Amino acid sequence: MIKNDLFLRALKGETVDRPPVWMMRQAGRYLPEFMEIKAKYDFFTRCQTPELASEITVQPIRRYGMDAAILFSDILVIPQAMNIAVEMRPDVGPWLPNPIRSQKDLDRVVVPDIHQSLGYVMEAIKMTKEKLNDEIPLIGFAGSPWTILCYCVQGQGSKNFDKAKQFCFTQPVAAHELLQKITDTTIAYLKEKVNAGVDAVQVFDSWGGMLSPVDYGEFSWQYIQQIIDALKDHAPVIAFGKGCWFALDTMAKSGASALGIDWTCSAKNARKLTGGKITLQGNFDPTRLFSPPKEIKKQVKQMIDAFGKDRYIVNLGHGILPNIPVENAAAFIEAVQQYKAT
């Protein structure tokens, strides 16, 4: 039994005294104790070494006491396991030296054995669960198939993922084959994560908002729906699509336990577009954490009042930025912990 089950209760839609809070990307980046580890070990060493990944996962919990932990990892461990090389280059970010641009490129992409290729993630989960000692739940995550395709085809981050979209629009058969391979891998991966001990899973569709509603349905949503269908009886699923306000009505009917909302969609719009019944998670603008702590606290209070304390998980609208002062992140968490409705 988890001692602080606020997060799990909010996912079930139960009435709570205050909403739970965690922050996307809370493990890493802005924390001095993380920077010490980063100085010693490169990115994928941190992901692949269970001692490091579990330590990084619990660092923010020790400092701030969030209501859920999220395993330190990366969405790009999936293409790595599928035989697509992924490097993390300083000042560039993700770098895939052999991007997928043709049916021929696709032939070398495999649906891997999860135990063999991603066993280190399961070890990290088990080690993290021990460290958390049933105090709070642990979240596992994966990228959406579309978002993973974006990196696999583009070969790096991008403002518009033009090469990824060009691939989909000129070679749709190959695109769907790649998306299905990613989906099959992701389903097996998330199921194993649940078996290893995570209490909920989140699917990140960071680049779904680059697509038109019609193209979103074809190239992104149908694969997320497959993941939800396969996982929902094993663990609660949170679906987060950045910029995907136009699909919130469909997402609300998907069987997901909660939907992530970004900061361009107001609480009022989010409740309206989702029909008012599903748990929502979000949506503080990550750059608003640059505001003075007093202003942050005021805005967090307003945000909770706008979403309502029930069926709501306080979070950012996207990942925390690397250069946010630790006292500003503290103000964000404290505002929720001290929340009282007026």
Per CB under 8 A, the segment of 78-86, 103-111, 196-204, 281-289 that binds a second copy is 281-289
Count, residues in the chain: 342
* d(C-alpha 260, C-alpha 25), whole Å: 14
Please identify which residue in 14, 269, 327, 338 interacts with a second copy, judged by CB under 8 A: 269
Dig out the tokens for 171 from the structure. Answer: 């070679």
- Which range, of 35-43, 76-84, 221-229, 261-269, touches a second copy by CB under 8 A? 261-269
Cα 332 from Cα 132, distance rounded (Å): 22
Strand, helix or coil for residue 35: helix
Cβ at position 303, least distance to a second copy in Å: 10
What minimum distance in Å lies between the beta carbon of 141 and a second copy?
Answer: 21
Instruction: Give the shortest CB-74-to-a second copy separation in angstroms.
Output: 18
The owner of tokens 């930025």 is: 321
Q: Is 15 helix (H, G, I), strand (E, B) or coil?
A: coil
Find the binder of a second copy among 79, 137, 241, 243 (CB under 8 A). 243
The residues facing 94 across adjacent strands are 88
221 interacts with a second copy by CB under 8 A: no
Binding mask 48-87 for a second copy (x = CB under 8 A): ----------------------------------------
Burial class (CB within 10 angstroms; exposed 0-12, middle 13-18, buried 19+) of 209: middle
Residue 224 makes contact with a second copy by CB under 8 A: no
Amino acid occupying residue 177: E
Does the protein bind a second copy through residue 169 (CB under 8 A)? yes
Query: 273, 280 in Cβ contact below 8 A?
Result: no
Residue among 120 and 263 whose Cβ is closer to a second copy: 263
| Pick from 44, 34, 38: nearest CA to 78 | 44
Of 83-91, 103-111, 130-138, 264-272, which segment contacts a second copy by CB under 8 A? 264-272
DSSP 320: P
Give me the residues that bind a second copy (CB under 8 A), please.
157, 159-160, 162, 165-166, 169-170, 209, 211-213, 215, 243, 245-246, 263-266, 269, 285-288, 290-292, 295, 321, 323
